[in-house]
Each structure stands twice: as structure tokens, then as C-alpha cells.
Amino acid sequence: QVQLVESGGGLVQAGGSLRLSCLASERTFSSYAMGWFRQAPGKEREFVAAISWSGGRTYYADSVKGRFTIARDNAKNTVYLQMNSLKPEDTAVYYCAAPTSSSWVRRYRSAAEYDYWGQGTQVTVSS
């Protein structure tokens, strides 16, 4: 059982930056791909970014491409989401998640592919 704990959320003005962190409890963290999702009030959970187990491949939603960067430090069991040029529409609860199936590589945008989830961290961007 992998436990994921997000941190780093908060309130920021439009144009500002935040860095989210997700700490995994599992010592085999380095064998998992990881993803970030977000959910705004009244909306479905949506894909934000994902990274392969080695960090060699990264994937982004079109809405965040060029502004957000996903990275990981396997020695620290941590995945990061650097968020720059934040917009009010980025306001949401952000979740990190880990898949266990190899089908992830074809369906990384789907929340159904992820088996372990953190509790989420709130990001609020004011205009």
C-alpha cells in the first residue's frame, strides 16, 4: 500500500508561482510512474501532468504546458509540480497519484488508471 502526502498549496496572486510536493511512503517509489490531477468545485477531476518512473518521460495537459513542470527525486521518494504563471482558472485541489498497471503509458490522462491517491492540497489563485 502506497501512501501519498501532498504539500505546498496555498493562496497566490495571478502570475505567481507555487511548488507542490508529493511524498510517497513506499520504498519502491522509484518503480512507479506518478501523476498530478486537479479538481475544481463542481468539476470533474482532470489530468495535469505525469512522469515515468525514471523521469525520462513527462506528459502535460494542454492547459498547463509551458507553465507547469513535473519532476521527481527518487532518492527522496518525492514528485514535484512546479507551477509558474498561475491563473485564476488553476484554482483547484491538486492530487498526486500512482498507477500500478503497465497500461498507464497508454492511458496516463485517465484518473481510472491510478490506484493510489493523496489527500490533496488546495491551490487558490486570486485575480
Query: What are the tens digits of pLDDT across the range 20-42?
Result: 999 999 777 888 899 999 999 99
pLDDT for res 115 = 93
Average pLDDT over residues 75-82: 96
Among the listed residues 78, 65, 63, the one whose alpha carbon sits nearest the alpha carbon of residue 32: 78
pLDDT for res 9 = 97
pLDDT for res 101 = 85
What is the DSSP track for the chain? ---EEEE--EEEETT--EEEEEEE--TTGGGS-EEEEEE-TTS--EEEEEE-TTS--EEE-TTTTTTEEEEEEGGGTEEEEEE-S--GGG-EEEEEEEE-SGGGGG-TT-GGGEEEE---EEEEEE-
33-59 as b/e: b if 16+ CB within 10 A:
bbbbbbeeeeeebebbbbbbbebeeeb
Q: 39-64 pLDDT, tens per residue?
A: 999 999 999 999 999 999 999 999 99
Q: 100 or 90: which carries more pLDDT confidence?
A: 90
